[in-house]
Amino acid sequence: MRCGPNSTRSRIIGIPSLYISEREVERLLSIDDAIVAVEESLMHRANARATNQHRERAVGGRDVYVNTMLGADYALGAHGFKTYTVASGVYRFFVYLYDSETSALLAIVEANKLGQLRTGAATGVATRLMANAAARDVAIIGTGFQARSQLAAVAKVRSIKRVRVFSPTPEKREAYAREISGVLGIEVDPVDSARAAVEGADIVVTITSSREPVLCGEWLEPGAHVVAAGGADPYIREIDDLTVQRADLIVVDDRAQAQIEAGELTMPAERGLVLWEQMHELWQLVGGEVAARASANDITLFKSLGMALWDIAAAKLVYDRAVGSGAGRPLPG
């Protein structure tokens, strides 16, 4: 064993440092696992045993962006960051995971799939806490990569009987309906307007890249639970002002981040239509500090932007399973 500044503590104490690929993440992490990991990380946050720092963004050139998110979960003994780049519309995600006791690098995890699952998982956690127990009818607006885990997570926490899906492109909504019906064994109907999807729904999920609202508050039924999981930009919003105003409870994942990135909330807040002080963070519901609803007719809203804390929790689970199963490849050092 080498001595001196080039030796690594991970080798000294026997902790393997791994590179874990997308394919391995997909094999090692399920939506059920992700829901548990996200909820436990939020409980750790509620017990002051975890912390999260909001996303930082930098422009790396023409149509090139670099983003970084930091988190630490003291209960897991892990910390780290997720970094992702956007170049010409192509996203690449990586989580760097560290052992908090030794500062050893545990893993570099390819995180496109991990991010999809943890984002869906947060919707599952919020829906379990905020939707009416009898909710059965779901509307989803958006059919992209993230839309798969959104519906999968909702189906894990409620006994869904029917889904209506809308995308502006008929081929995409029809393909999504066929795929998800087969995967989840739930009736999924493609419809020709967002309104047709939303009216009568107990749970409404928006997961789009739209710059303008795709959900109007007047369409919502009493008692509806809304998840706005798409935009993360102060100038973009998936839901209109009336949706926000009708909400009896508004929950965000991280208020500091929402005040920077959640256009659905920053725009009405600037006009005095909603106050930041009336909003809560998801960990407060998980920890029991805040009740989700006072009555079955309450309309509830969860605005999801994504937290590094979730990435750390999911990556730690993947890492532990990789070590146990011999997955991943050793990092040089």
Distance between CA 141 and CA 216 in Å, rounded? 12
Window from 18-22, 209-213, 242-246 with minimum mean pLDDT: 209-213
User: CA of 253: how far to CAs of 181, 279, 280, in Å?
Assistant: 29, 10, 8
Structure confidence at residue 63 as a pLDDT band (50, 70, 90) = confident
Contact call for residues 140 and 132 (beta carbons, < 8 A): no
- What's the fold here for domain 9-115+309-327? ornithine cyclodeaminase, domain 1 (3.30.1780)
d(CA 97, CA 217): 41
Sign of CA dihedral 35, 37, 40, 41: negative
Average pLDDT over residues 252-269: 95
Banded pLDDT at 10 (limits 50, 70, 90): very low
Contact 192, 166 (CB under 8 A): yes
Angle, CA of 185, 189 and 194, to the nearest 5°: 135
What is the token pair recorded at 191? 């419809």
Q: For residue 230, what pLDDT band results from cuts at 50, 70 and 90?
A: very high
Q: How many CB atoms lie within 10 A of CB 46?
A: 18
CATH node for 125-307: 3.40.50.720
Domain with CATH 3.30.1780.10 in the chain: 9-115+309-327
Domain with CATH 3.40.50.720 in the chain: 125-307
Q: pLDDT tens digits, residue range 264-316?
A: 999 999 999 999 999 999 999 999 999 988 999 999 999 999 999 999 999 99
Please tell me the distance from the alpha carbon of residue 232 to that of residue 176, in angstroms, as a whole number. 23
